[in-house]
Structure 1
Amino acid sequence: MVKNLIALACCLLCLFTAAEAKVYKVSNPDEFKKAVAVAVPGDEIVIVDGHYSGWELTVPTMGTVGKAIVIKAETAGKVVFSGDVNKPVFQLTGSFTEISGLAFEGCNLFKVPGGTGILIELKATKYCRITDCTFSKNTAKNQFMPIVVISGKAEHNRVDHCNFIGNIDNQELQVKIVSESVPLYTLIDHNVFKDKDKVSWKVFNGGECVQIGQDPVLLGTKTAGSIVRDNRFVRCNGEAEVISNKSSGNSYINNYFEDCVGELVMRGGHDCLIDSNIIKGGTGGIRVNGTHHTITNNTFSGLPVAIRLMYGMAKGKTEIGFYIAASDCLIKNNRIGNTTTGILIGDSKNADWTGKFDTARYPSPTIQSVAPFDNLLVDNVIRDTKVPVKHNEN
């Protein structure tokens, strides 16, 4: 009897809680702002199907555990934002808020005095989520412009099940690290990045699909704890770094790369995990600078080089170098087939960077003269490869 009464009370509580949740339908910025002002945990703000432009909205909503505030399309994919963008279309600043089902197509992103065009920014948010959104054929009109950004003292945010297709001259997704703040524990999973052409910018830089950190020289030791897993990268040709790691303590797990003109790159940072990824075709596999990375259980096929351990201008975590030599890395249980070179130890030997970076800002030698060292290769299976392991340290 007591158990039945408890069960009945729980059911009534659930019904009462569900009855409290409200749905606000909106079709313009003013209606959206009014809904945001009154939304409480568990409420939904539904954007009516249609085409929109000119939205610039700050969203400070605060949901709670199990009762997120959800901003969603009336029908997934049928709410389409386009046109010129000078400030974030949606800038979330709160917690436990989810954006779902929106499409951004043909947007032109500009940098203007007092503003930067971003499609969605999670700024110092906690436990917020971007899911089931599509970003296609959007164009950055200035270099180094991402379309989705996680910034500030953000924690435990997620970007998942989104499609990034055919975007132009942009970075797709950026975890923005500065000296004052590091977004922590970002999860980027089950997204598709596809059909990205080479950017038109100087030295073809600024076209990463995922970038975690921006200053590997001075801020590479900052620990972000990001996880990038279960994503697909197909024909991502924007620049040499499909994924650009420029911070420490991140994980790249079970991602799939196919026919990309670019690599999964440890450009800077230390103590990262690269595990169980598949890289098939394209111009390269994994490029490694930095210390104490773990590279395990990955599969490579149809590549010029599967894994490159790079020379640097300096070594370890305390020396300043524009590039840090690969050291103390574990390369284990990887499967490499049908490549020209399996593992190259010592790429970019004595590369001269004189005049190519600001030595006042980055007090680094300009020659990559420090060879990779103390890296452990064990139990890797290399087949149908002209040179299984090439040593170029001396």
Structure 2
Amino acid sequence: MKNKIKKILLGAAFLALFNPVNATEYRVNNAQEISALKLLPGDKVIMNAGDWKNQQIVLKGKGTEKLPITLLTERSGQIISGNSTLKIDGEYLVVDGLAFADGYSEKDAIITFSKNSAHCRLTNSSIINYNHPDKTFDYKWISVFGTYNRVDHCELTGKTHQGTTLVVWLSEKPNYSQIDHNYFGPRPDLGVNGGETIRIGTSDWSMYDSFAKVENNIFDKCNGEAEIISIKSGRNLISNNLFYECVGTLTFRHGNNSKVANNFFIGNKVKNTGGIRLIGENQNVHDNYLQGLTGTALRSAISIMNALEAPKPNEYFQVKNAVVKNNVIVDCKEAIVIGAGKNSTRTVPPINLIVESNVIINSAKLITYTDIPLNSTIKDNSVKGSPLEEGFITLKENAVKANDDLMLKTQNLKNFLLNEKVGPSWKKEKPNLNIR
């Protein structure tokens, strides 16, 4: 009997320790009150409505998978202003409903996941026009360090000063970051390098694997510089995103073994809108839909670059073993360029390239060979409305697979626009996307 009672008491103690009924809800009025809290799994911190200006907010603690620690605003979309910033520092922390506006950072990123953070989440939040008055001032809007962190259902719009909008930073171990269901709103051309919307890694860390995922986002007129997304690490997945009238490209800039699949690039004939640019080894580009892009050379629908003989970490590495397959390219100015960027130093052509089973319709230029790829396969690509080249065949009305690919891609685009819930739930205004 004693042993039975002991087991019951131990069980009750275990449940009391991990039961959210015992979690505490705190209401706070400023960043200092948040920092003073000793938060435990399941605790909630609610930011009261009021003046949240010039607040350096730090959410620190260790939640669990089942009992995260949550920071909420009294009203979703509550404005955080002035020189305010947020640091997420711990494990299983969730930040929900913040809206940064009417201010700018004086030094650091607006929102930072710390190097020790793991399994943390920023959701249902926004940063709108949070710009330093000096347009050359460089800070990121979101810096993602740590591992297994997620940014989802957020809006980031109107960045007009230098610096990448969102950066995933690397370390010796993969980060497994997840960036999904966000709306990245218009960003003007800065006229200088460093204005990417997303960058995954840096040149110095590019040979390390990241395993980041960027999925189900909308990139709307993200024109900060030539690279909309810059992949500078290994083993990343960029899938099921919409790039709408973006003047630039999704670029495999450094690193190897990444995949770009099932994305939509809609240019609507806007000048210099681009597609996908390949550099590095074992990159895989498949099942993307690219329409109405006017970019050429480095901004063509599919641009496969030349490289240097002995590149430094920040230079151009040879394209090796790339696969470009099952993509649909419609009404683009230049569908495919091989050897893009060739000049007196970029003299090394792609090798072991596969360009296969793509569908190209009404493109002004089917394929441009700036250089000749080595030991490569270009075959079974279906074409309508462009003069044929070797490796390309006429798309016939009864060519079931090619026509099915086209119909599937267009239906997937409609499904994406209808069904994906992108951006904060409390935002009433929806992006005006005209798919022609």
TM-score by length of 2: 0.75
Contact 1:312 1:321 in 2 (8 A): no
Segments of structure 1 that go 5 or more residues without pairing to the other structure are 1-8, 111-115, 353-366
Shift of residue 320, structure 1, vs aligned partner: 5.2
Cross-structure match for 1:159: 151
Q: CA deviation at 1:91?
A: 1.6
Say whether the 8 Å CA contact 2:20–2:67 is kept in structure 1: no
Question: Structure 1 residues 54, 17: CA separation in 2 closer, same or farther (over 3 Å shift)?
Answer: same
Give distance in 1, aligned partners of 2:350 and 2:333: 21
The RMSD of aligned alpha carbons is: 2.3
Give the match's secondary structure for 1:19. helix
Residue 303 (structure 2) aligns with: 308
Find out whether 1:49 has 2:49 as its counterpart: yes
CA distance in 2 between partners of 1:25 and 1:60 (Å): 16
The answer on whether the counterparts of 2:39 and 2:60 sit within 8 Å (CA) in structure 1 is no
Amino acid at match of 1:132: N
Aligned partner of residue 104 in structure 2, secondary structure: strand
Matched position secondary structure for 1:39: coil
d(CA) in 2 for partners of 1:306 and 1:386?
12
Q: One-letter code of the match for 2:216? A: D
Partners of 1:133 and 1:197 lie apart in 2 by: 22
Whole-Å Cα distance in 2 between the matches of residues 46 and 164 of structure 1?
A: 23
Query: 2:194 corresponds to which residue?
Result: 206
Aligned mates of 1:104, 1:372 — CA distance in 2: 45
CA distance in 1 between counterparts of 2:153 and 2:339 reads: 37
CA distance in 2, matches of 1:15, 1:321: 51
Structure having the larger proportion of residues in strand = 1
* Higher radius of gyration, 1 or 2: 2
1:320–1:49 Cα change, 3 Å? closer
- CA separation in 1, counterparts of 2:18 and 2:259? 46
Distance in 2, matches of 1:54 and 1:93, equals 19
Does structure 2 retain, via aligned residues, the 8 Å contact 1:344–1:391?
yes
1:119 and 2:110 matched: yes
Q: Counterpart in 1 of 2:319?
A: 326
Q: Does 1:338 align with 2:331?
A: yes
Does 2:182 align with 1:191?
yes
Paired residues of 1:69 and 1:98 also in contact (CA < 8 A)? yes
Q: 1:1-394, aligned counterparts within 5 Å?
A: 17-35=19-37, 38-78=38-78, 80-84=79-83, 89-110=85-106, 116-124=107-115, 125-140=117-132, 141=134, 142-151=136-145, 154-169=146-161, 170-177=163-170, 181=172, 184-199=175-190, 203-215=191-203, 218-281=204-267, 282=270, 283-304=273-294, 305-314=300-309, 322-350=315-343, 367-394=345-372
Using the alignment, how far apart are the partners of 1:24 and 1:156 within structure 2? 27
- Greater shift, 141-150 or 340-349, is seen at 141-150
The letter for the 2-side match of 1:39 is: L
Q: Give the deviation of 1:325 after TM superposition.
A: 2.3
Taking structure 1 as the reference length, the TM-score comes to 0.83
Deviation at 1:15, TM superposition (A): 12
Q: How far has the Cα of 1:391 moved from its partner?
A: 1.7
Q: Which string of whole-angstrom CA distances, capped at 9 and with x for unpartnered residues, describes residues 15-61 of structure 1? A: 992321211011112221223xx221011001112342222233331
1:356 maps to: none
Give the length in aligned residue pairs: 349
The 3-state SS of whatever aligns with 1:174 is: strand
Structure 2 stretches of 5 or more lacking a match? 1-10, 295-299, 373-436
Q: Secondary structure at the match of 1:139?
A: coil
Q: Residues of 1 paired with 2:347 and 2:314: CA distance?
A: 11
Fraction of identical pairs, as percent: 29
Q: Does the residue aligned with 2:33 lie in a helix, a strand or coil?
A: helix
C-alpha distance in 1 between matches for 2:52 and 2:205:
38
Partners of 1:320 and 1:370 in 2: CA distance: 16
In 2, Cα distance between equivalents of 1:327 and 1:74: 53
Q: 1:130 and 1:314 mapped to 2: Cα distance? A: 42
- Pairwise CA distance, 1:319: 7.5
Asked whether the equivalents of residues 314 and 323 of structure 1 are also in contact (C-alpha less than 8 Å), the reply is no
Asked if the contact 2:174/2:209 (under 8 Å) is kept, the reply is no
Q: 1:131 touches 1:159 (CA, 8 Å); kept in 2?
A: yes
Could you tell me which residue of structure 2 aligns to residue 6 of structure 1? none
